[in-house]
């Protein structure tokens, strides 16, 4: 893939993956995907030493690349099948999108901050990942591409947005942290029938908030 993905990086990734197993991540496809995505390339070069620690990290524009454990939990809860059509709300660094692509999903990802959208749209294809990237308010989802098999929201929402529920196919799953500004509970919302939804809860997490509207630089 990339000439600056070295043996050292691969070794560090293997350790990261071993750590995620110990923390309870079981889905082999998630572990394999995290083992393949060169997370260090998603961070400013000055922070390379932090790339394979199980920590969130600043990526500019006041945003963060999610902690690998959080990425792993959300990816596992999505129960990705090959070719699933997945909507991601909150592109950020593009790391989560790359993990989903490695798992065989078709990824549509939306970001409300133009600076991040522009950066990711150039960067991801340069390392071999090509999701469909959109600039816009993910609260509204992507109605013209709906329905989705899966929806993942990577920012903390005060409540599950109705537009996103409506864009889930019957039988589809949405993984979304729900709560106030810096403490949320991971929710899995399953669309059981056209107008019936079932919600499961999967522990506490910390995300930056899901915000309305867009930011143009
Ligand atoms: N998935 C990202 C983590 C991103 S952090 C990664 O792997 O790096 C959350 C992101 O959600 C931020 O970039 C933030 O700007 C974005 N965000 C917040 N509210 C949003 C909204 N309504 N629509 C789209 N993106 C949003």
Ranges of the chain whose pLDDT falls below 50: 1-2
- Residue 93 annotated in active site: no
Is the C-beta atom of 96 inside 6 A of ligand 1?
Answer: yes
Confidence (pLDDT) at 103: 98
CATH of domain 2-205: 3.40.50.150
Cβ atoms 131, 107 nearer than 8 A = yes
**Domain boundaries, given as residue ranges, for the chain:** 2-205
| Nearest by Cα to 64 from 188, 185, 182, 216 | 182
Confidence (pLDDT) at 1: 47
Task: Looking at the CA of residue 90, tell me the nearest atom of ligand 1.
Answer: 11
Is the C-beta atom of 90 inside 6 A of ligand 1?
Answer: yes
Confidence (pLDDT) at 20: 98
Measured CA to CA, the distance from residue 182 to residue 4 in angstroms comes to: 35
Supply 122's token pair: 């150039």
Cβ atoms 106, 86 nearer than 8 A = yes
Is the C-beta atom of 63 inside 6 A of ligand 1?
Answer: yes
Cis link prior to 147 (omega < 30° from 0)?
Answer: yes
Question: Residue 86, Cβ neighbours under 10 Å: how many?
Answer: 25
């Amino acid at each position: 893939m990339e000439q600056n993905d070295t043996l050292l990086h691969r070794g560090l990734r293997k350790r990261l993956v071993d750590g995620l197993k110990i923390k309870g991540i079981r889905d082999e496809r998630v572990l394999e995907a995290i083992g393949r995505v060169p997370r260090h390339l998603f961070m400013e070069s000055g922070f390379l030493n932090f790339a394979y620690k199980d920590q969130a990290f600043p990526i500019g524009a006041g945003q963060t690349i999610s902690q690998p454990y959080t990425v792993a939990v959300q990816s596992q809860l999505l129960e990705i099948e090959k070719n699933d059509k997945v909507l991601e709300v909150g592109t950020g660094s593009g790391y989560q999108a790359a993990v989903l692509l490695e798992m065989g999903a078709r990824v549509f990802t939306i970001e409300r901050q133009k600076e991040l959208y522009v950066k990711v749209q150039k960067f991801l294809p340069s390392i071999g990942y090509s999701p469909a990237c959109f600039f816009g308010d993910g609260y509204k989802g992507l109605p013209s591409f709906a329905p989705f098999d899966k929806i993942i929201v990577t920012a903390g929402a005060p409540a599950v947005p109705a537009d996103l529920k409506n864009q889930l196919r019957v039988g589809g799953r949405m993984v979304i942290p729900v709560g106030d500004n810096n403490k949320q509970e991971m929710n899995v919302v399953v669309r059981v029938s056209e107008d019936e939804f079932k919600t499961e809860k999967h522990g506490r997490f910390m995300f930056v908030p899901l915000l309305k509207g867009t930011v143009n630089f």
